[in-house]
Amino acid sequence: MLLKLVFNLLFAFGLFIDSIRMRLSLVAALAAIAGYDIICSPSPNRLTAMYDAHTFMNGLLLASDLLILHNPKTDVWHRQAGHIQQQPLDWKKILLALELTVNSRGIGWNFDVRGSKSSRLTSTESRAQFIVRQVARGTAAWLLIDLTRTIFRYRNTCHIQGSLFQDGPTWQAVYVLAGWTNIAGSMVVPHAVIAAITVGVGLYRPEDWPKMFDIAEGYTVRRFWG
């Protein structure tokens, strides 16, 4: 918990730094923290270790994007108030910077990276249409998760004593596809549920919830994630 807090604080601090050398040093420090936690820090169980590793690596990728590939002073915009650096330093600005470090999808914020596809596109859907679509989307993802876990449950190679290499290349391809489908579905289900609820009660608008993935334009990482 302490390492995660330090990680996010350093990341947020980097959003206020203009020097690329200092930002590179910060990202190197973030990588060291992530590496130490993943390799050296003990976890109570494998599931927790996997979750912690995923959290740190996701944060490190986001830091590389916002601190190295972009200059926060010129590329990260507050859509209603100008550049993040142009505002006086206050608690609201600090809280927004902290949100940038953990909200990689940008749901509900007013920040955009210049040159990227905006996360706040105008939607022609009504709230009811949006909710119905999210329910259908979440249900389909849940069924796919169930299908993939059925494969893992009934194939001996997927059990603890099994080996994926004991089956031929066709089944190996199925296992890889099922694994990625399971991961994607596990992300889509909560995304769809929370989107439907928050739009349904009026906290957000349909355009505040872009697609989780964009397969048709997935030839770059940024386009894939919307």
Domain extent listing, the chain: 1-112, 119-225
Q: In sequence order, what are the beta bridge partners of 82?
A: 78
What proportion of the chain, given as a percentage, has pLDDT over 70?
69
Are the beta carbons of 34 and 4 closer than 8 angstroms? Answer: no
Task: For residue range 39-66, list pLDDT tens digits in order.
Answer: 887 777 666 777 778 788 878 888 887 7
Residue 167: helix, strand or coil by DSSP? coil
pLDDT given at position 85 = 46
CB environment 160-179: b (16+ within 10 A), e (fewer): eeeeeeebeeeeeeebeebe
pLDDT given at position 103 = 62
pLDDT given at position 110 = 45
Residues 84-93 have a mean pLDDT of 57
Q: What region, left, alpha or beta, does residue 202 occupy, with left being phi > 0 and alpha being psi -120 to 50 degrees?
A: left
pLDDT given at position 217 = 60
pLDDT given at position 203 = 85
What mean pLDDT value characterizes the chain?
76
Task: For residue range 154-200, list pLDDT tens digits in order.
Answer: 887 777 666 767 788 888 888 888 888 888 888 889 989 999 999 99
CB-CB neighbours of 158 under 10 Å: 18
pLDDT given at position 136 = 95
Pairing of strands 111-113, 82-83: unpaired
pLDDT given at position 219 = 58
Q: Which residues contact 23 (CB under 8 A, 6 or more apart)?
A: 14, 17, 67, 68
DSSP string, 104-126: TT-TT--EEETTSPPS-------
Residue 78: helix, strand or coil by DSSP? strand
Residue 83 — very low, low, confident or very high, per pLDDT cuts 50/70/90? Answer: very low
Residues 134-141 have a mean pLDDT of 94
Nearest to 57 by CA among 39, 79, 37, 34: 34
Higher pLDDT, 153 or 130: 130
Radius of gyration of the chain (CA): 20
Tally: H helices and E strands in the chain = 8, 3
State the chain's maximal CA–CA distance in angstroms.
62
Determine if the pTM surpasses 0.75.
no
Strand ranges inside the chain, DSSP E: 76-78, 82-83, 111-113
pLDDT given at position 107 = 46
